[in-house]
Amino acid sequence: MAQQALNLTALQQQLDELNHSSDQEWSIIGGKLHKSFSFKNFIEAFGFMTRAAIHAETLNHHPEWSNIYRTVVVDLVTHEAGGITELDFKLAKKMDALL
């Protein structure tokens, strides 16, 4: 089933729910669901990316991300839908659960 971009109301509701129990909050930057994860060191950051990659592959939804030393920056958007969808929030929740 094709994903549809969330409208502004649904987007804000999902974002509020996602951030309800998170120490490091997600935000919307440049039309993408965005978060910067900080870890103790490079090994922990890379380990997080490895575990997150398994979830991304399972969902067939791959993040735009980068790693510099102990920081992993993640941007999620469903390009086919032209915006942020339920799938982006699903992957974001899986990433948060890895912490």
Q: Where are the domains of the chain?
A: 8-97
Can you read off the two tokens belonging to residue 84?
Answer: 């942020």
Task: Please report the pLDDT score of residue 24 as a whole number.
Answer: 85
Provide CATH code, domain 8-97. Answer: 3.30.1360.20
The active-site residue out of 16, 20, 23, 79 is 79
Q: Which member of 17, 25, 62, 64 is catalytic?
A: 62
Lowest-pLDDT range of 19-23, 51-55, 81-85: 19-23
61-71 pLDDT, tens per residue?
999 999 999 99
Q: In whole angstroms, what is the distance from residue 79 CA to residue 85 CA?
A: 10
Give how far Cα 55 sits from Cα of 13, 21, 40, 42, 44, Å.
23, 20, 22, 20, 17
Task: Based on the residue annotation, tell me whether 34 is a catalytic residue of this protein.
Answer: no
pTM, entire model: 0.93
What φ, ψ does residue 51 adopt, rounded to 5°? -65, -40
Classify residue 52 as exposed, middle or buried by CB count within 10 Å of its CB (0-12, 13-18, 19+): buried
